[in-house]
Amino acid sequence: MTAALSFTHRFQPGSATGAAPLLLLHGTGGDENDLLPLGATLSPGAALLAPRGQVLEHGMPRFFRRLAEGVFDEDDVRRRALELGEFIGEARRHYGIAAPVAVGYSNGANIAAALLLLQPQALAGAVLFRAMVPLNQPPAVKLARTPVLILSGLTDPIVPAANAAKLCNQLIDAGADVTHTTLPTGHQLSQPDIALARDWIAGLPQAMAA
């Protein structure tokens, strides 16, 4: 089911009482279909909202521009995070869902982190797979113990360990309740990633789905 909202997207209604809706944010070159199977695995029966990034890099969808590998256009990050936050509001009104928990991979995790730092009210929480710092000097925000799970790869050639640690500290400083785990893997997702994220989501308060 796709409505004419500001982002091309897919929406799957939820069937499980008490399951928080998931906002599925793909990596570079993905689209609105990529993470639907992952979302269904992480939280069976949850409502799934999956937008497509509106920036193209050599024909590949992304959620914001980058200047080089690991070097982000921070002005564009801010603008695109605002647009994504507006879309979330549209989708919540249209589909009648609560504030979602973001599940982002790579570029999708980075825009989710930017949303947390720029529009903390847009998300009820976030699972960030292979996330990097989206903003070197984020504004002062209050995340009020918003739950965040960061899953990093020990041998990830794209995300340096110090960068992932800096993001973790930024979110903690803003008041988020952060769990950061580094797994013995690279940039791609692994079965331990999925198992940890599934268990973490299952432990979220059911009130988040209200």
Amino acid sitting at position 132: M
137, two tokens: 């000097």
Reply yes or no on whether 94 is catalytic: no
**Using an 8 Å Cβ cutoff, are 106 and 137 in contact?**
no
- Catalytic option among 73, 76, 187, 190: 187
Reply yes or no on whether 156 is catalytic: yes
- Catalytic option among 106, 152, 180, 193: 106
68, two tokens: 């080089």
**Using an 8 Å Cβ cutoff, are 176 and 145 in contact?**
yes
Residue with tokens 């509106």: 54
Residues 86-96 as b or e (16 or more Cβ within 10 Å = b)? ebbbebbeebe
Q: What are phi and psi of 188, to 5 degrees?
A: -75, 155
**Using an 8 Å Cβ cutoff, are 130 and 109 in contact?**
yes
- Catalytic option among 152, 156, 180, 193: 156
Amino acid sitting at position 73: D
Q: Report the catalytic residues.
A: 106, 156, 187
